[in-house]
Structure 1
Amino acid sequence: MDWDDLRAFLAVAQLGSLRRAAEALGVTQPTIARRLRGLEADLGLPLFERERDGHRLTAAGAVLLPEARAVETAALRVERRSHGLVGGLAETLRVGAGEWAAALLARGLAGIAEGPGIELLVTGAPAPGAGRAPEILVRHGIPETGEGLTRRVGALDCALYGAPRFAEGRALPLGPAELASLPWLGFVEEQEHYVTMRWLRERMRERPPAARLMRSDLMAAAAAGGVGVAVLPCFLGDALPGLLRLSAPIEALRADYWAVAHPDLARNPSVRAAVDWILDCFRSADGPQAAAG
């Protein structure tokens, strides 16, 4: 039995679709589908029911899910012990975060100059190989379990940004009706599930986006070029030339960020130092903060 097949099974079981599982593992949807077929062939059992809105566990899949999670826990423990992270200081820690949080942390890398080394990953981004899993994850919302090291680190304000011409002759911030009349920028179809996309579709009256882009830096460049307006984190949008904040911070997109580490690492001094650094990075962002990518 292939460990990568089990990882695909666990990702689809947790996220409910091939697309989201592929994003989380940094592979393609066909790869996830192939791994599921391989695992089902090895076991001689169907693990998922394929439905229009995603994948649901069969009865057999639900029975095997706890066993697969136990295998995952054991594998991760071996991996972490092999890196010498459980007992002493780590030379390098991997931190995984969504795109916005990762950009904020990148700005603050100088603040951990005397602490452990940091490798910063954008979770869900394509990677050249399976690689080493992050020791710390920075994620939206309260984690499902309280095991290990779990700490609220802050949040990120976001707002709508666009070229200054969209504000000509208008008072800022623009009202809902004015914002709804502007061309807007969205993520690509594989990212339709993002909360920002749902918010934009509702506010823009189901009009199609002027353009679709995969990353916020591309969206910011298109917005500065006058293509349309984009939801961006305020720490990024306020600092970019050619962009103007057109809306107030978006209350509906506010959500806390949490730093999460495995129970084996909860007392590791390097992990705790890194989490303190993450907290400092979020404190450096202005205002109450908010959520989406």
Structure 2
Amino acid sequence: MEWDDLRHFLAVARTGSLTDAARALKSSAATVGRHVEALEEKLGAQLFERRSTGYLLTETGTAVLAKAEEAEAAVLSLERETMGADQRLSGRVRVATTEDLATMVIVPALPSFCSCHPLISLEVLARLDLSSLTRRDADLALRTVRPDKGELLIRRVGAVDLAVYASPGYVVSRHLEEGAVDFGKVEIVSWIEEMANLRGGAWLAEHAAAARIALRVNTTRLLFDACRAGLGLAILPCFGADGDQGLVCVVPPEQVISIDAWLVMHRDLARTARVRAVADFIVSLGPRLSRRPSPGDRDWH
């Protein structure tokens, strides 16, 4: 039995689709299908029910999944231990974070990092889901949610200040003054209902329940664009909104919220030189997250 067959089997089991599995593996659906069929032939058992809606594990497939995940854990542990001994400042490092932290904090600071470490190939993954560091979807993750599972090292890098903003034209048309907003007389732009628990969602539910929701969106970029367009007020991170000429702060962060930002990596990668170099770079960006001094942790936990 080959690990490559198991790897493709796991991808299909987790996604329920050859196409989605191929996308995750950066392969083709035909290749994924061949590996699954090869594994079924070697085991002499059908692992999936092929349905029009996707691939569903059979009873045997479910049993194989548990064993395959054990094998995966062993392989990835070996990879991490080997990588952990690597002291070269070269190679790929993948960082998972949110869209706004990626575009407004990390990317603008990258030229100096790349100049100092030209042999490190950095990949930044902007995604809302919590990437799995255990499965090596990413080497580092910068998040505003502290994870509580896995063999992870965690470090608070600072706090993200959030405030309420509007376009200059909207401020004039509604006669708004900073810190004195009557939410019963304004419109707001917020997250779609499935994402209502994201940054600022709970604050809006408590303080702006009387406001009319002009638009719901599912990305930070749309939140910024809609606010600039004058559709209404929006809670935005100060690190991106304060320097934007198309936005005016109408409720300061002192009256809204600040959220801790956490940098996370797997314990096995702590001694990998290139990963530590990228981690140190991200830690150095902590002061950019907040209007007010909010020093991060000195050590990993």
What is the aligned counterpart of 1:185 among 186, 189, 195? Answer: 189
Q: How does 1:39-78 map to 2 (within 5 A)?
A: 42-43=61-62, 70-77=70-77
Aligned to 2:110: 109
Q: Does the 8 Å CA contact 2:162/2:256 hold for their aligned counterparts?
A: no
Q: Does the 8 Å CA contact 2:183/2:210 hold for their aligned counterparts?
A: no
Aligned to 2:93: 93
Count of residues in correspondence between the two structures: 240
Q: Which amino acid aligns with 1:107?
A: P
Larger radius of gyration: 2
- Cα distance change, pair 8–278 in 1 and its aligned pair in 2 (3 A): same
Once the 2 structures are TM-superposed, how far is the Cα of residue 120 of structure 1 from its aligned partner?
0.8
Alignment RMSD: 3.5
Q: Does the 8 Å CA contact 1:157/1:288 hold for their aligned counterparts?
A: no
Higher strand share: 2
Q: Does the 8 Å CA contact 2:95/2:122 hold for their aligned counterparts?
A: yes
Aligned to 1:4: 11
Percent of paired sites with the same residue? 27
Are 2:109 and 1:119 equivalent residues in the alignment?
no
Distance 1:207 1:107 in 2: 35
Are 2:236 and 1:232 equivalent residues in the alignment?
yes
- Cα distance change, pair 251–174 in 1 and its aligned pair in 2 (3 A): closer
- Cα distance change, pair 71–157 in 1 and its aligned pair in 2 (3 A): farther
Q: How does 1:196-215 map to 2 (within 5 A)?
A: 196-205=200-209, 209-215=213-219
Are 2:168 and 1:194 equivalent residues in the alignment?
no
| 1:155-193 Cα distance to aligned partner (Å, 9 max, x none) | 211111111234334431234xx1343111122344233
Once the 2 structures are TM-superposed, how far is the Cα of residue 92 of structure 1 from its aligned partner?
2.2
Unaligned runs of 5+ residues in structure 2 are 1-5, 17-23, 25-52, 130-134, 295-301
Once the 2 structures are TM-superposed, how far is the Cα of residue 136 of structure 1 from its aligned partner?
0.5
| 1:59-78 Cα distance to aligned partner (Å, 9 max, x none) | xx9xx6xx786455334335
Aligned to 1:269: 273
> Secondary structure, in 3 states, of the residue corresponding to 2:200?
helix
Taking structure 2 as the reference length, the TM-score comes to 0.67
Once the 2 structures are TM-superposed, how far is the Cα of residue 111 of structure 1 from its aligned partner?
3.2
> Secondary structure, in 3 states, of the residue corresponding to 2:165?
strand
Taking structure 1 as the reference length, the TM-score comes to 0.68
